[in-house]
Amino acid sequence: MANTDTGGEPARDRSSGLSDKQQRILDFLRSFLLEKDYPPSIRDIQQGCEISSTSVVDYNLKRLEERGYIRRDREVSRAIELLDGTGRRRGSLTVPLVGAIAAGSPIPMPPDTLPPGYDEVAVTEAQTRGRSNAFALKVQGTSMIDALIDDGDIVILEPTQSCDDGDMVAVWLRDENETTLKKFFHEGSRIRLQPMNSAMDPIYTSPENVEVQGRVLSSIRLS
C-alpha cells in the first residue's frame, strides 16, 4: 500500500526515505534560509511549495523533525534549523519580545516595564547588527507601511535614548504616557515624528515631551 503524507502524495522510493512533499519542503527551507538568513513561516512554506494547507505543512515538518532533518522550537516564532549542514542558520539567537508598539496612533505603554513571562523571537546576528541587548516589539497599525513594516510585523531594536534625524525609533510621549513607532526629526524648537504612510499626518511635539526608547535595527514579516 502506498504511503501518504496527509496530502494524498505517495512517498518516493529514494534513499533518504522522504516523500516528494517532504523533499520539496526541505529544499525550500534550504533556499529560503540561504537567501533571507531567517526561517520561513508555515504560510511561506505552504505558498512556496504549493501545498494545500498549513496543517499539511505542519504534519510534514513533524516527520522531517522525527527523521533528524530539522529542529524546531515551537515556543519561538519561525524557529526552524536545518541539521544537514547546508543552509544552516548563521549566528542564530533569540531576543525578548517585550510587547507591542503602535505604528499609527500612539498606544499606552508604561516605560521601563517588561511583562512577566515575555516571549522570544528567533533572529540572526545580522538582524541584531551584533547588539547583545537587542529586543523586539510587535507592530500594531500601518503608519510605517511605506517602510515595509506592516501591522503584525516584528521590529528588532537596540535600547537608546538618542538618535539622528531620519532614524526609525520607538518614542515615549511623556505627557500622553504613550509610545509610538515613527521616524524622528528635529524641526526648530519642536520634534516631528513622521509616519511612513502618505495618508497619515506627522506628530509634532516639544523635545521635553519625547523620550527615545529604542532604534529600529531590522524587521521581520511574520505572515
Backbone angles phi, psi at 2, to 5 degrees: -70, 140
**Quick check: 134 and 217 in contact, CB under 8 A?**
yes
Among residues 41, 143, 183, 219, which one is catalytic? 143
The answer to whether residue 143 is catalytic is: yes
The answer to whether residue 138 is catalytic is: no
Q: What is the rounded distance in angstroms from the CA atom of residue 53 to the CA atom of residue 140?
A: 27
Q: List the end-to-end C-alpha distance of the chain, in Å, as a whole number.
A: 37
Per DSSP, the residues of 19-74 read: -HHHHHHHHHHHHHHHHHSSPPPHHHHHHHTT-S-HHHHHHHHHHHHHTTSEEE-T
Q: What is the rounded distance in angstroms from the CA atom of residue 190 to the CA atom of residue 78?
A: 41
Among residues 182, 198, 206, 218, which one is catalytic? 182
Active site members = 143, 182
